Structure 1
Amino acid sequence: MANTLSAEQLIAIDWLAQPKKGGKTYEEIAELCGVTARTLENWRKNAMFDAEFRRALRRNNDVRLPELLQSLADIAIRDGNAAMAKLALQVGGVLTESIEVTNKDGEGTDIEALRLRVASLSQRQSETSE
Protein backbone atom coordinates (compact mmCIF):
# COMPACT_ATOMS: atom_id res chain seq x y z
CA MET A 1 0.00 0.00 0.00
CA ALA A 2 1.30 3.49 -0.85
CA ASN A 3 1.93 6.26 1.66
CA THR A 4 -1.51 7.73 1.00
CA LEU A 5 -4.98 6.36 1.35
CA SER A 6 -7.11 5.66 -1.71
CA ALA A 7 -10.38 7.44 -2.43
CA GLU A 8 -12.18 4.21 -1.57
CA GLN A 9 -10.47 4.06 1.82
CA LEU A 10 -11.37 7.68 2.55
CA ILE A 11 -15.01 6.96 1.67
CA ALA A 12 -14.94 3.98 4.03
CA ILE A 13 -13.46 6.12 6.81
CA ASP A 14 -16.14 8.77 6.33
CA TRP A 15 -18.88 6.16 6.78
CA LEU A 16 -17.21 4.20 9.57
CA ALA A 17 -16.54 7.35 11.64
CA GLN A 18 -20.19 8.40 11.65
CA PRO A 19 -22.35 7.50 14.64
CA LYS A 20 -23.80 4.03 14.02
CA LYS A 21 -21.82 3.97 10.75
CA GLY A 22 -24.31 6.37 9.19
CA GLY A 23 -27.00 3.71 9.37
CA LYS A 24 -25.05 1.40 7.07
CA THR A 25 -23.90 -2.15 7.69
CA TYR A 26 -20.27 -3.12 7.26
CA GLU A 27 -21.18 -4.93 4.05
CA GLU A 28 -23.04 -1.88 2.67
CA ILE A 29 -20.05 0.35 3.35
CA ALA A 30 -17.78 -2.12 1.57
CA GLU A 31 -20.17 -2.14 -1.40
CA LEU A 32 -20.20 1.69 -1.51
CA CYS A 33 -16.41 1.57 -1.70
CA GLY A 34 -16.44 -1.11 -4.40
CA VAL A 35 -14.61 -3.67 -2.25
CA THR A 36 -15.47 -6.77 -0.27
CA ALA A 37 -16.17 -6.77 3.45
CA ARG A 38 -12.93 -8.76 3.86
CA THR A 39 -10.96 -5.96 2.17
CA LEU A 40 -12.60 -3.45 4.48
CA GLU A 41 -11.59 -5.59 7.47
CA ASN A 42 -8.01 -5.69 6.19
CA TRP A 43 -8.00 -1.90 5.82
CA ARG A 44 -9.07 -1.59 9.45
CA LYS A 45 -5.86 -3.42 10.43
CA ASN A 46 -3.69 -0.93 8.51
CA ALA A 47 -1.95 1.63 10.76
CA MET A 48 -2.39 4.53 8.32
CA PHE A 49 -6.08 3.73 7.81
CA ASP A 50 -6.58 3.42 11.57
CA ALA A 51 -4.85 6.75 12.25
CA GLU A 52 -7.07 8.56 9.73
CA PHE A 53 -10.14 6.76 11.08
CA ARG A 54 -9.30 8.01 14.60
CA ARG A 55 -8.82 11.58 13.31
CA ALA A 56 -12.22 11.38 11.61
CA LEU A 57 -13.81 10.14 14.84
CA ARG A 58 -12.32 13.10 16.74
CA ARG A 59 -13.52 15.55 14.08
CA ASN A 60 -17.02 14.10 14.18
CA ASN A 61 -17.17 14.17 17.96
CA ASP A 62 -15.58 17.57 18.57
CA VAL A 63 -18.90 19.27 17.89
CA ARG A 64 -20.52 17.25 20.68
CA LEU A 65 -17.77 17.83 23.26
CA PRO A 66 -19.50 20.83 24.92
CA GLU A 67 -22.66 18.74 25.26
CA LEU A 68 -20.67 15.88 26.79
CA LEU A 69 -18.93 18.17 29.27
CA GLN A 70 -22.27 19.66 30.29
CA SER A 71 -23.66 16.16 30.79
CA LEU A 72 -20.68 15.18 32.98
CA ALA A 73 -21.16 18.29 35.10
CA ASP A 74 -24.92 17.71 35.38
CA ILE A 75 -24.42 14.12 36.55
CA ALA A 76 -21.72 15.14 39.01
CA ILE A 77 -23.93 17.83 40.54
CA ARG A 78 -27.23 15.90 40.45
CA ASP A 79 -25.84 12.66 41.86
CA GLY A 80 -22.99 14.08 43.94
CA ASN A 81 -20.75 11.83 41.88
CA ALA A 82 -17.14 12.70 42.75
CA ALA A 83 -15.70 10.45 40.02
CA MET A 84 -17.79 12.21 37.38
CA ALA A 85 -16.77 15.61 38.75
CA LYS A 86 -13.11 14.58 38.59
CA LEU A 87 -13.53 13.39 35.00
CA ALA A 88 -15.29 16.61 33.96
CA LEU A 89 -12.49 18.70 35.50
CA GLN A 90 -9.79 16.56 33.88
CA VAL A 91 -11.39 16.76 30.43
CA GLY A 92 -11.75 20.51 30.87
CA GLY A 93 -8.04 20.75 31.68
CA VAL A 94 -8.71 22.14 35.15
CA LEU A 95 -7.50 19.10 37.08
CA THR A 96 -4.28 17.23 36.42
CA GLU A 97 -3.19 13.87 37.75
CA SER A 98 -0.11 15.15 39.52
CA ILE A 99 2.25 18.05 39.78
CA GLU A 100 5.94 17.48 40.32
CA VAL A 101 7.69 19.90 42.64
CA THR A 102 11.42 19.95 43.22
CA ASN A 103 13.06 21.68 46.16
CA LYS A 104 16.65 22.77 46.01
CA ASP A 105 16.73 24.13 49.56
CA GLY A 106 16.43 27.72 48.37
CA GLU A 107 19.42 27.42 46.07
CA GLY A 108 19.53 30.50 43.86
CA THR A 109 16.52 32.06 45.62
CA ASP A 110 16.80 35.42 47.33
CA ILE A 111 14.77 34.62 50.43
CA GLU A 112 15.08 38.14 51.86
CA ALA A 113 13.75 39.68 48.62
CA LEU A 114 10.79 37.29 48.76
CA ARG A 115 10.06 38.25 52.39
CA LEU A 116 10.11 41.96 51.48
CA ARG A 117 7.79 41.33 48.52
CA VAL A 118 5.32 39.39 50.68
CA ALA A 119 5.37 42.13 53.32
CA SER A 120 4.77 44.76 50.64
CA LEU A 121 1.83 42.84 49.17
CA SER A 122 0.35 42.27 52.63
CA GLN A 123 0.61 45.97 53.43
CA ARG A 124 -0.98 46.93 50.10
CA GLN A 125 -3.85 44.49 50.68
CA SER A 126 -4.56 45.81 54.18
CA GLU A 127 -4.52 49.41 52.85
CA THR A 128 -7.04 48.59 50.09
CA SER A 129 -9.37 46.69 52.42
CA GLU A 130 -9.69 49.62 54.86
Structure 2
Amino acid sequence: MLVQVPVWLWVDEETWRPESARAEVPGGSVSVTAAPRSADWSMGDGEVVSCTGPGMPFVVGRDDPAAPSPECGHTYTRASAGEPGGVYELGLDVTWEVTWESSEGDGGELDPLVTSSSAEFDVVESQGLVEAAG
Protein backbone atom coordinates (compact mmCIF):
# COMPACT_ATOMS: atom_id res chain seq x y z
CA MET A 1 0.00 0.00 0.00
CA LEU A 2 1.15 3.53 -0.68
CA VAL A 3 0.85 6.73 1.32
CA GLN A 4 -1.77 9.14 -0.14
CA VAL A 5 -3.26 6.45 -2.41
CA PRO A 6 -6.87 5.46 -1.54
CA VAL A 7 -7.35 1.96 -0.14
CA TRP A 8 -10.66 0.27 -0.95
CA LEU A 9 -12.03 -1.92 1.84
CA TRP A 10 -14.53 -4.73 1.33
CA VAL A 11 -15.65 -8.08 2.68
CA ASP A 12 -16.07 -10.87 0.13
CA GLU A 13 -19.73 -11.39 -0.78
CA GLU A 14 -19.46 -15.10 0.04
CA THR A 15 -18.68 -14.08 3.63
CA TRP A 16 -21.15 -11.16 3.77
CA ARG A 17 -24.37 -13.15 3.81
CA PRO A 18 -26.74 -14.45 6.46
CA GLU A 19 -25.96 -17.79 8.07
CA SER A 20 -28.72 -19.96 9.56
CA ALA A 21 -28.90 -23.10 11.66
CA ARG A 22 -31.85 -25.20 12.76
CA ALA A 23 -32.18 -27.63 15.64
CA GLU A 24 -35.06 -30.10 15.91
CA VAL A 25 -36.25 -32.01 18.95
CA PRO A 26 -39.38 -34.12 19.36
CA GLY A 27 -42.28 -31.69 19.29
CA GLY A 28 -40.51 -28.60 18.00
CA SER A 29 -37.61 -26.78 16.43
CA VAL A 30 -35.59 -23.59 16.73
CA SER A 31 -33.91 -21.63 13.95
CA VAL A 32 -31.17 -19.07 14.50
CA THR A 33 -29.99 -16.62 11.83
CA ALA A 34 -26.98 -14.32 11.98
CA ALA A 35 -26.84 -11.52 9.38
CA PRO A 36 -23.85 -9.18 8.90
CA ARG A 37 -24.74 -5.54 9.61
CA SER A 38 -21.52 -3.52 9.91
CA ALA A 39 -17.77 -3.70 9.44
CA ASP A 40 -15.31 -1.75 11.58
CA TRP A 41 -11.82 -1.57 10.10
CA SER A 42 -8.98 -0.65 12.49
CA MET A 43 -6.39 0.66 10.05
CA GLY A 44 -3.34 0.40 12.32
CA ASP A 45 -2.58 4.12 12.09
CA GLY A 46 -5.05 5.09 14.81
CA GLU A 47 -8.01 5.45 12.44
CA VAL A 48 -11.15 3.29 12.49
CA VAL A 49 -13.35 3.13 9.40
CA SER A 50 -16.97 2.07 10.08
CA CYS A 51 -19.00 0.77 7.15
CA THR A 52 -22.66 -0.23 7.15
CA GLY A 53 -22.21 -2.77 4.39
CA PRO A 54 -19.54 -5.01 2.86
CA GLY A 55 -17.90 -2.25 0.82
CA MET A 56 -17.32 -2.39 -2.93
CA PRO A 57 -14.52 -4.44 -4.51
CA PHE A 58 -11.99 -2.55 -6.61
CA VAL A 59 -12.06 -3.78 -10.22
CA VAL A 60 -9.08 -3.08 -12.48
CA GLY A 61 -10.24 -1.38 -15.67
CA ARG A 62 -13.54 -0.26 -14.13
CA ASP A 63 -12.36 1.77 -11.16
CA ASP A 64 -9.92 4.67 -10.98
CA PRO A 65 -6.99 3.72 -8.70
CA ALA A 66 -6.63 7.37 -7.65
CA ALA A 67 -10.29 7.65 -6.58
CA PRO A 68 -11.51 6.83 -3.09
CA SER A 69 -13.94 3.96 -2.60
CA PRO A 70 -17.55 5.11 -2.98
CA GLU A 71 -18.58 2.90 -0.04
CA CYS A 72 -15.75 2.04 2.34
CA GLY A 73 -12.15 3.20 2.21
CA HIS A 74 -9.17 4.88 3.82
CA THR A 75 -6.11 6.87 2.77
CA TYR A 76 -2.90 6.50 4.77
CA THR A 77 -1.07 9.76 5.46
CA ARG A 78 2.17 8.28 6.76
CA ALA A 79 4.29 5.20 6.11
CA SER A 80 4.35 2.25 8.49
CA ALA A 81 8.16 2.22 8.68
CA GLY A 82 8.15 4.09 12.01
CA GLU A 83 5.75 1.60 13.62
CA PRO A 84 6.81 -1.41 15.72
CA GLY A 85 7.79 -4.12 13.26
CA GLY A 86 7.58 -1.62 10.40
CA VAL A 87 4.00 -2.60 9.56
CA TYR A 88 0.44 -1.58 10.34
CA GLU A 89 -1.83 -4.22 11.82
CA LEU A 90 -5.19 -3.95 10.08
CA GLY A 91 -8.12 -5.38 12.04
CA LEU A 92 -11.67 -6.12 10.95
CA ASP A 93 -14.64 -6.57 13.29
CA VAL A 94 -17.91 -7.63 11.63
CA THR A 95 -21.04 -7.22 13.75
CA TRP A 96 -23.81 -9.73 13.13
CA GLU A 97 -27.48 -9.28 14.05
CA VAL A 98 -28.73 -12.57 15.54
CA THR A 99 -32.40 -13.59 15.58
CA TRP A 100 -34.19 -16.77 16.58
CA GLU A 101 -37.56 -18.33 15.88
CA SER A 102 -39.27 -21.43 17.26
CA SER A 103 -41.79 -23.71 15.61
CA GLU A 104 -44.26 -22.48 18.25
CA GLY A 105 -44.12 -18.93 16.90
CA ASP A 106 -41.82 -17.47 19.54
CA GLY A 107 -38.77 -15.53 18.50
CA GLY A 108 -36.66 -12.49 19.03
CA GLU A 109 -33.20 -10.99 18.94
CA LEU A 110 -30.10 -12.21 20.72
CA ASP A 111 -27.05 -10.12 21.58
CA PRO A 112 -25.06 -9.13 18.49
CA LEU A 113 -22.14 -11.37 17.58
CA VAL A 114 -18.77 -9.88 16.58
CA THR A 115 -16.22 -11.79 14.51
CA SER A 116 -12.66 -10.50 14.15
CA SER A 117 -9.69 -10.98 11.87
CA SER A 118 -6.40 -9.18 11.32
CA ALA A 119 -3.43 -8.94 8.96
CA GLU A 120 -0.23 -6.93 8.75
CA PHE A 121 0.59 -4.58 5.86
CA ASP A 122 3.48 -2.40 4.80
CA VAL A 123 2.54 1.15 3.87
CA VAL A 124 5.34 2.89 2.00
CA GLU A 125 6.04 6.22 0.37
CA SER A 126 6.82 6.48 -3.30
CA GLN A 127 8.78 9.43 -4.61
CA GLY A 128 9.49 10.44 -8.15
CA LEU A 129 12.87 11.61 -9.33
CA VAL A 130 13.10 14.38 -11.89
CA GLU A 131 16.40 14.65 -13.67
CA ALA A 132 17.24 17.65 -15.81
CA ALA A 133 18.64 16.87 -19.25
CA GLY A 134 21.82 18.67 -19.79
TM-score > 0.5 by shorter chain: no
Q: Which has the higher contact order (CA 8 A, sep 6+)?
A: 2
Higher strand share: 2
TM-score bracket relative to the smaller structure: under 0.3
More helix by share: 1
